[in-house]
């Protein structure tokens, strides 16, 4: 068993266990025991394929339960406890509405007392180890998801890194804000900041190196990391960043909220009055009432053309000083952080994934294409009919405008480019111009045994199972299990390759291993402003340049000229 470094900060003698106590506790429980700055935790050992095993410490509280006066407030560090806390089961998921894809049977236990994290440590850990740390921030539109759906055992044990996964508040409970008051929102992102502070204070006790912390996440998780890259509150809390399919400069989130229309509708539906007593009223409402109203906002009346003013991050002047695109453009990001970022090749197919199952099965009629393009998507911070007309023109198949299959593809490309590809590459370009050359990838593999139609392609989220080693041990995320639950032997190799890329980057700041290590099949070049190189991730990886150059010129050069000023 690895050694325990005792941290005395904020601990009284009643919470602090001596080294002898810890050894006795380990013998008593037959499981690993670690001291944190809130108290000791006992984990469990999980056996994995290929003779591997991992120590798991699950459901560790890093913050006080965000209830009562802490609902709609910044988080506070967890209070110390006496004795040894059992950390063998995941904590509760943060409250979120049930959906057609994630119903009551597929969802975990929910509670507002949900600010937990999990630590996965290779069982081969040695007393003097200082392993690289990878902190996973899950996605889900800032409104859905949980760390329990992404067990990090395979990634950790197969690649000799420590994996941490975190919960954070979601939806209205995580991001409600009231313009012009002290209720500024962003509580879910502040939760992430506190979790990163916990990692800095405690991870050495688990055998980790607090000076080699990589944050990685997908979709809203990647957008969160993009925010941390430009937030003064997160400076120094991490050293590397991997952003999968997300950038904070997307127009759906992270805007300056001046319109209180959504807030007023929410208050009305939950039977509270807009005014000085609003927060007191909301804090008295059962969480079920809030989720019912959130469902109206995000599911029943949701379109991709609505900003998420009270259910996502916003400019607050503190955590986020300005619009992300402005901060990146002016070089106001953490220049000492190594960055890897990328997208999947069919990001926009997710637009159809969450719609009625048969809506796009036979393609898409031209009139429906026009209605969606001009009324159900958001391309810039402020709705513009001129921009909508230009997007319609740019993505219309003028050679065969009535071809339903190509029209469906055009719709998905428009959504994918606007929501994911354009923000990711815009930020990559800004990093390169600011002297911090990132590594960029495009994931292009559609799971061999996926039951979904072939036109779905390498959809948004398709990379996640390969990052977490799902071909070796299935991950219990309901969305991932819709994509596929079965993998080929070749896909096991692809997963090993991708895990190696991600963890090599976490260890060294580059996905290309140092000279003394076994080389990768392809050398991954950095992304420069001129060449814009990227790694095409598939069964046969290759290097490309200028991904979707014509479309990116449209989004990065033409559209800004129409919306400037």
Largest CA distance in the chain: 77
Q: In three state form, how does the secondary structure of 384-451 look? A: CHHHHHHHHHHHCCCCCCCCHHHHHHHHHHHHHHHHHHHHHHHHHHHHHHCCCCCEEEEECCCCCCCC
Backbone phi, then psi, for 44, in 5-degree steps?
-145, 165
On whether the CB atoms of residues 457 and 345 are closer than 8 A, the answer is: yes
String of b and e for 7-22 (b: at least 16 CB within 10 Å)? beeebeeebbbeeebb
Q: Which residues contact 367 (CB under 8 A, 6 or more apart)?
A: none
Q: Is 31 a catalytic residue?
A: no
From CA 185, how far away is CA 309, in angstroms rounded? 10
| Active-site residue, from 325, 347, 388, 394 | 347
Query: How many Cβ atoms are within 10 Å of 101's Cβ, its own excluded?
Result: 12
Backbone phi, then psi, for 76, in 5-degree steps?
-120, 145
Q: Is 460 a catalytic residue?
A: yes
From CA 41, how far away is CA 81, in angstroms rounded? 10
- Local structure of residue 126 (DSSP, 8 states): -
| Active-site residue, from 123, 148, 219, 450 | 219
How far from each other are the two terminal CA atoms of the chain, in whole angstroms?
61
String of b and e for 38-65 (b: at least 16 CB within 10 Å)? bbbbbbbebebeeebebbbbbbbbbbeb
Question: Where would I find the H helices in 418-545?
Answer: 422-433, 464-467, 478-483, 489-508
Q: Which residues contact 285 (CB under 8 A, 6 or more apart)?
A: 270, 272
| Active-site residue, from 450, 460, 491, 495 | 460
Map tokens 């190196």 to a residue.
209
Q: Which residues contact 428 (CB under 8 A, 6 or more apart)?
A: 339, 341, 438, 440, 527, 532
On whether the CB atoms of residues 503 and 208 are closer than 8 A, the answer is: no
Which has the closest alpha carbon to 74: 36, 115, 118, 38? 115
- Local structure of residue 348 (DSSP, 8 states): G
String of b and e for 462-475 (b: at least 16 CB within 10 Å)? bbbbbbbbbbbbbb
Active site residues: 219, 347, 460
């Amino acid at each position: 068993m690895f050694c325990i470094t005792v941290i005395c900060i904020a601990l009284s003698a009643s919470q602090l266990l001596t080294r002898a106590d810890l050894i006795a506790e380990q013998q008593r429980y037959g499981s690993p025991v670690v001291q944190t700055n809130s108290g000791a935790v006992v984990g469990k050992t999980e056996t994995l394929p290929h003779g591997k095993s991992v120590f798991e410490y699950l459901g560790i509280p890093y913050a006080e339960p965000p209830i009562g006066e802490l609902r709609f407030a910044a988080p506070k560090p967890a209070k110390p406890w006496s004795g040894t806390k059992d950390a063998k089961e995941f904590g509760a998921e943060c409250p979120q509405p049930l959906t057609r894809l994630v119903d009551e049977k597929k969802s975990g236990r929910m509670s507002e007392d949900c600010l937990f994290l999990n630590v996965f440590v290779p069982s081969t850990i040695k007393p003097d180890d200082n392993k690289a740390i990878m902190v996973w921030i899950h996605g889900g539109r800032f409104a859905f998801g949980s760390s329990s759906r992404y067990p990090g055992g395979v990634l950790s044990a197969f690649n000799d890194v420590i994996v941490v996964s975190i919960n954070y508040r979601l939806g209205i409970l995580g991001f409600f804000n009231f313009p012009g008051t002290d209720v500024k929102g962003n509580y879910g992102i502040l939760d992430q900041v506190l979790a990163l502070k916990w990692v800095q204070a405690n991870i050495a006790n688990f055998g980790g190196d607090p000076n080699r912390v990589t944050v990685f996440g997908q979709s809203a998780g990647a957008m969160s990391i993009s925010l941390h890259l430009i937030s003064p509150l997160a400076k120094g809390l991490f050293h590397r960043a991997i952003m999968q399919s997300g950038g904070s400069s997307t127009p759906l989130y992270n805007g300056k909220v001046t319109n209180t229309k959504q807030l007023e509708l929410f208050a009305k539906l939950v039977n509270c009055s807009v005014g000085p007593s609003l927060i007191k009223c909301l804090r008295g409402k059962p969480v079920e009432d809030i989720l019912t109203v959130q469902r109206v906002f995000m599911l029943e009346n949701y379109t991709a053309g609505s900003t998420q003013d009270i259910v996502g991050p916003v400019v607050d002047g503190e955590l986020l000083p300005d619009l992300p695109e402005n901060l990146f453009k002016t070089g106001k990001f953490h220049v000492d952080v190594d960055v890897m970022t990328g997208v999947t090749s069919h990001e926009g197919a997710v637009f159809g994934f969450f719609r009625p199952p048969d809506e796009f099965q036979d393609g898409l009629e031209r009139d429906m294409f026009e209605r969606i393009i001009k009324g159900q998507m958001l391309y810039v911070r402020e709705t513009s009919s001129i921009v909508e007309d230009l997007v319609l023109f740019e993505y219309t198949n003028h050679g065969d405008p009535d071809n339903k299959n190509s029209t469906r593809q055009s719709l998905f490309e428009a959504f994918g480019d606007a929501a994911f590809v354009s923000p990711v590459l815009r930020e990559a370009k800004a990093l390169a111009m600011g002297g911090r050359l990132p590594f960029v990838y495009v994931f292009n593999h559609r799971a061999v045994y996926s039951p979904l139609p072939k036109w779905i392609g390498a959809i948004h989220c398709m990379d996640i199972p390969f990052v977490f080693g799902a071909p070796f041990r299935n991950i219990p995320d309901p969305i991932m299990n819709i994509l596929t639950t079965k993998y080929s032997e070749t896909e096991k190799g692809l997963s090993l390759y991708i895990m190696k890329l991600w963890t090599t980057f976490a260890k060294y700041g580059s996905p290309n291993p140092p000279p003394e290590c076994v080389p990768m099949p392809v050398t991954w070049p950095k992304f420069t402003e001129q060449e814009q190189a990227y790694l095409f991730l598939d069964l046969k990886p290759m290097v490309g340049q200028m991904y979707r150059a014509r479309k990116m010129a449209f989004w990065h050069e033409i559209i800004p000229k129409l919306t400037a000023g």
